[in-house]
Amino acid sequence: MTSDQAEPRVAGVWLATASILLVLALTFHGPLHPDLEVQMTRIAESASRWKVVHWAAAASLSGFAVASLLVLVSGSRLARTGWTRSAWGVVFIGALWTLTTAVTEVTVIADLAASGNLSQFEAWWSFAEGNGNGFSLLAMAVAVIAWNETKDPRRLVPK
């Protein structure tokens, strides 16, 4: 295996591992309640689960960031066009944005929920919601990467 093949394969392992972790985290996360007081109570009642789920999400998002960097520096065909290079860059940024949300959920929000401090909880929840928009960036970037993969004659999955 040549060097130009090794890095994308390693990136693929990072992507697969990150994806599995993210699916597990989202499965055990549960739905959010629109009423912040109810959401705060839910978090306080299961703070340990909340923390484990968000550490798993943080690990997953770190994996997406590493994978995107590996693809970008590898010179792989997966990042040869401006659109795909941009998309992999957006994967990196989206993962970092969302990573800050996951870490905030563990280090601040869970403790505020347990303390019952609604005003501080609302402020930090707003911060987490804003950075949670990184999921949208990730989704758009993956769509661009997938679209370009379907158009490439050397795509991984035949038509």
* Res 133: pLDDT: 85
Residue ranges covered by each domain of the chain? 3-151
pLDDT score for 6: 78
- Compute the distance between CA of residue 149 and CA of residue 12 in angstroms, rounded to an integer: 14
The whole-angstrom separation of Cα 31 and Cα 157 is: 34
Distance CA 104, CA 113 (A): 12
pLDDT tens digits in sequence order for the chain, 159 residues long: 455 577 788 998 999 999 999 999 999 998 999 999 999 999 999 999 999 999 999 999 999 999 999 999 988 888 988 999 999 999 999 999 999 999 999 999 999 999 999 999 999 999 998 888 888 889 999 999 888 888 877 766 665
> What pLDDT does 147 receive?
87
Q: The pTM is what? A: 0.87
Q: What is the pLDDT of residue 4?
A: 58
C-alpha distance from residue 26 to each of 20, 22, 29, 56, 118 (Å): 10, 6, 5, 9, 25
pLDDT of residue 77: 83
- The architecture in CATH of the region 3-151 reads Up-down Bundle (1.20)
pLDDT on residue 158: 60
